[in-house]
Amino acid sequence: MDRATRRSEAYFAFVEAGSLLQQLMEDQLRSDANISYLQFFLLGRLAEAPEGRMRMTDLADSTVHSRSGLTYQAGQLEKAGLIQRVPSPDDERSVIAVITDAGRDTFARGLPGHLDVVDKGMFSVLDDQQLDALATSLTAIRDRLRSQAPSAAQRRKNRG
């Protein structure tokens, strides 16, 4: 098989596998924690952040999500009592998202099933050599794409 065909095959397998895994995670998280995959990801980022706090702009960049989409999701999480949004003490233009105890509980409720879906859907079919190759490859791809992708603030500036 030539290189172009192999690259195409790898690309489409990656996209399809990611979509299928995300669909399985979405279903599991709705069932176990009554939140979406994106909401779970946001709660996870906040749970691991120092003092459970992040600037909304930094949260948007870390989740590779638009500011407007993140604002909507944060509103849903805040309405459910899972986060709070507070003004930044350092910058009056910034808003800080803070995970609540209920948010930590919801994240913890979704985590075991999430890990199970990821393990069964992804890691259980790989031997150690394949896992090492996947981790090395995806880290290199992520790092390259992070260096090329504009931040949420840059995307907003470019639109407007």
Rounded CA-CA distance 132/9 in Å is 20
- b/e per residue, 21-41, with b = 16+ CB within 10 A? eeebbbebbeebbebbbbbbb
> Between 1 and 137, whose confidence is greater?
137
Residue 108 reports pLDDT greater than 80 = yes
Tokens representing 150? 């504009």
The pLDDT value given to residue 57: 87
Number of domains in the chain: 2
The answer to whether residues 85 and 139 belong to one domain is no
Residue 72 reports pLDDT greater than 80 = yes
Residue 129 reports pLDDT greater than 80 = yes
The answer to whether residues 30 and 78 belong to one domain is yes
> In the chain, pLDDT over 90 holds for what percent of residues?
75
Residue 15 reports pLDDT greater than 70 = yes
Tokens representing 15? 């996209």
The pLDDT value given to residue 60: 86
Print the domain residue range for 138. Answer: 128-160
The answer to whether residues 77 and 40 belong to one domain is yes
